[in-house]
Amino acid sequence: MFGSIPRSEIINLCSAGDGVLAVYDKKQDITRRFLVSSKALGAASSALYGFLNPVSKEDPVKPLQAKRPERLVKEDADAMSIILHIIHLRNGHVSANIEPKQLATIAILSKKYNCNRALRLWITKWCSQYRECASSEEVGYQLLAAFLFERENFPDLVARAAMLVEPRLVVDWPEHDLLGLLPKVLLDNLVFKIDGALADIKQALEDAEGRLRACRTTSTCFFLRCSSCGRSSLDRGRSCGSCVGLESMPTFCDAEGRVSEFFRALAGNGVWPSFVAFNHVTVWQLLSKFEAAKDRNLHLCEMRERCPLKVELARLFEQACNVQEYTKRDLVKHWKHRNDLW
């Protein structure tokens, strides 16, 4: 029953409000009551209008006595509050910077109660910028919001998600309380394209190793290596600073050494000693690791930038970038022509 509702417990969205919308949030175990305009609410959402409880015309916010059970909207109270504030043009209480999970929750309610048209200006604000995500879940929340809001940039967000999410995590999304609302056909396609991109990058790495092993060119390195401790130095002096009196020997750039240094560079950036690492990285992370391996490599021999090692590290990064681009392009093209999801 309504019982007595104190003035302080009603959130006044309209001074001439003629109805109370009660929202029960099960997770927070709270009920928020909003004094609303039936005209504004009816214009925005006939579904929400049906939950209105009548109030006294003389004093809409005086304690109410109910003759029937209170009708509750059982939803996320924070998300519903944002929607109701927008519907009543109380924009000063709405942030243009919404956390991905809350944005997805708003999108779910907006779709459920047919409020997308009423929220369209705010939807544009929220979805026009790509917020940096701290986790794969946040990427999924942004994707879900774009899907439910029926945004034109939805295909771009699908392509972006393919670069930022591990396929093993997408496989778990159907069991997620929110992300499970994404269509299965979308998630299956996403996993397929991510797996394909990672497989192509893995093949590029194997091809680079093959070319390095096949190249028999040898040159002298500018580094000297201590015959005792193995330290390398650009110092052209003939002795190692740590091993006094022991001679430093010249080193050579050959096929075996280049392969070894190639995988050391990858291992130093977390991509080796096996392909197991590919099971726990995103496409974007692989690109970053390959770029770091290329830029931080200190190999220096007489061939300089023409050295096969430097050439293959640069080529590996370039091929991984190409994989990223054509994977994104294919996804955007595919989902721009899919109109059967909505």
Q: How far apart are CA 181 and CA 178, in angstroms?
A: 6
Q: How far apart are CA 146 and CA 331, in angstroms?
A: 15
Contact call for residues 38 and 73 (beta carbons, < 8 A): no
Of the candidates 78, 67, 62, 61, the one whose C-alpha atom is nearest the C-alpha of residue 14 is 61
Neighbours of 228 (CB within 10 A): 13
Confidence bin at 241 (pLDDT 50/70/90): low
Q: Which of 45-54, 69-78, 99-108 has the highest mean pLDDT?
A: 99-108
| Angle (CA) 119 164 159, round 5° | 65
Among the listed ranges 53-62, 87-96, 275-284, which one has the minimum average pLDDT value?
Answer: 53-62
The amino acid at residue 145 is A
Helices assigned H by DSSP within 181-340:
184-214, 255-267, 283-296, 308-336
Confidence bin at 253 (pLDDT 50/70/90): very high
Of the candidates 176, 167, 125, 133, the one whose C-alpha atom is nearest the C-alpha of residue 149 is 125
Span 9-22, mean pLDDT? 87
Q: How far apart are CA 186 and CA 189, in angstroms?
A: 5
Instruction: Decide if pLDDT at 65 tops 70.
Output: no
Span 33-41, mean pLDDT? 90
Instruction: Decide if pLDDT at 5 tops 60.
Output: no
Question: How does 37-67 read in b/e, with b if 16+ C-beta sit within 10 Å?
Answer: bbebbeebbeebbebbbebeeeebbeebeee
Which carries the bigger pLDDT value, residue 234 or residue 142? 142
pLDDT score for 250: 67
Q: Count Cβ atoms within 10 A of the Cβ of residue 273 and give its class: 0-12 exposed, 13-18 middle, 19 or more buried.
A: exposed
Neighbours of 337 (CB within 10 A): 9
| Angle (CA) 37 39 40, round 5° | 70
Instruction: Decide if pLDDT at 233 tops 70.
Output: no
Strands annotated E in the chain: 10-12, 19-25, 30-36, 53-54, 72-74, 219-226, 232-233, 248-253
Instruction: Decide if pLDDT at 34 tops 70.
Output: yes
pLDDT score for 58: 53
- Strands 232-233, 219-226: pairing is antiparallel
- What is the edge-to-edge ordering of all strands in the sheet holding 219-226? 232-233, 219-226, 248-253
Q: Sort residue 158 into left (φ over 0), alpha (ψ -120 to 50) or beta.
A: alpha
pLDDT score for 93: 84
